[in-house]
Amino acid sequence: MKRHILLPAALLAFAPAFAKPDVPGSKDHPLLTRMQNMGIVVYATNPFQRYEFRTGKGRGATTPVEGKYYQIRYKMADGPAAPTPIAIIRNHQAALQKVGGTVLFEDNRYTTLKVAKGGLETWVEVDTAWGRGYQLTIIEKGAMAQEVVADAAAMKGDLKSTGHVALYGIYFDTNKSDVKAESRAALEEIAKLLGQDPALKLKVVGHTDMTGVLDANMRLSQARGEAVVKALVGQYGIAPARLRGHGVGPLAPVASNDTEEGRAKNRRVELVKE
């Protein structure tokens, strides 16, 4: 006769709880991971949609934002104590502030956040009134014209902490390496960075997306890196020995090349500290 082994009730009571499986096809947004023991119960996206984000108190104190839309609702697994609304709000605020985000609004239920990163302006609403969970509404506004993601101080911080910094404010025409006039603001910040630290030497590395032939992209990225060096030397008086142009084509992506948003993030110039 087979014997059925029963676990003591005390052990079952303290067995760990796990989140329910996410709904099919869902995933976290690239900017934000989920809180512990949460599973995705609602997931929706739309290539282009408008949403009114709360940016002040009172009726009508909103800001309309249009772009790629995400709705992601999380629910806590049964068992552990659910986080309080203020804990949810503070966690999301801290996460986005670490990557340069700002808090636009907060009350007992909502917080609205905005972050410029990777050539995108992303707006996030955190709604904590979902029982044992919370909901994110996200709009990726899209590429911003003449955006300088990092100023000299931010570049210096990234170089110190990671040894490199990605720039999305340097512009080229498709398949060309001439630095466009719209790049002036970014070039000025690089020159300022170099002026503040006379001992600093940089590799200026061009990156492309995966579109086209590999060899052509390698040549193009090299030419773009060298063009930025030429602009800094010729227009801002930086000593040539402090800069060296390189190109790695599409071989160091930071996002998927399957979407235009991902390809835009991969087309960039990086400064690497020597």
Report if residue 98 sits inside a domain.
Answer: yes
Tens digits of residue pLDDT in 106-154: 999 999 999 987 667 899 999 999 989 999 999 998 644 444 456 898 8
Residue 89 structural domain: 15-143
DSSP letters for the chain: ---PPPPPHHHHHTSPP-PPPPPTT----TT-PPPTTEEEEEEEEEEEEEEEEE-SSSTT-EEEEEEEEEEEEEEEPSSSPPPPHHHHHHHHHHHHHTTT-EEEEE-SSEEEEEEEETTEEEEEEEE--SSSEEEEEEEEEEEPTT--S--HHHHHHHHHHHSEEEE------TT--PPPGGGHHHHHHHHHHHHH-TT--EEEEEE--S-S-HHHHHHHHHHHHHHHHHHHHHHH---GGGEEEEE-TTSS-SS-TTSHHHHHHHSEEEEEE-
Lowest-confidence segment of 91-100, 145-154, 184-193, 224-233 by average pLDDT? 145-154
pLDDT value of position 15: 33
In a domain, 227, yes or no: yes
Which pTM does this prediction carry? 0.50
Q: Is 212 in the same domain as 247?
A: yes
Name the domain boundary from 143, 178, 211: 143
pLDDT tens column, 181-209:
888 889 999 999 999 999 999 999 999 99
Do 30 and 97 fall into the same domain?
Answer: yes
25, 92: one domain: yes
Q: Is residue 4, in this structure, part of any structural domain at all? A: no
pLDDT in tens, 2-33: 333 333 333 323 333 456 789 999 999 988 99
Q: How many domains does the chain have?
A: 2
Per-residue pLDDT of 50-77, as tens digits, reads 899 999 887 778 999 888 999 999 999 8
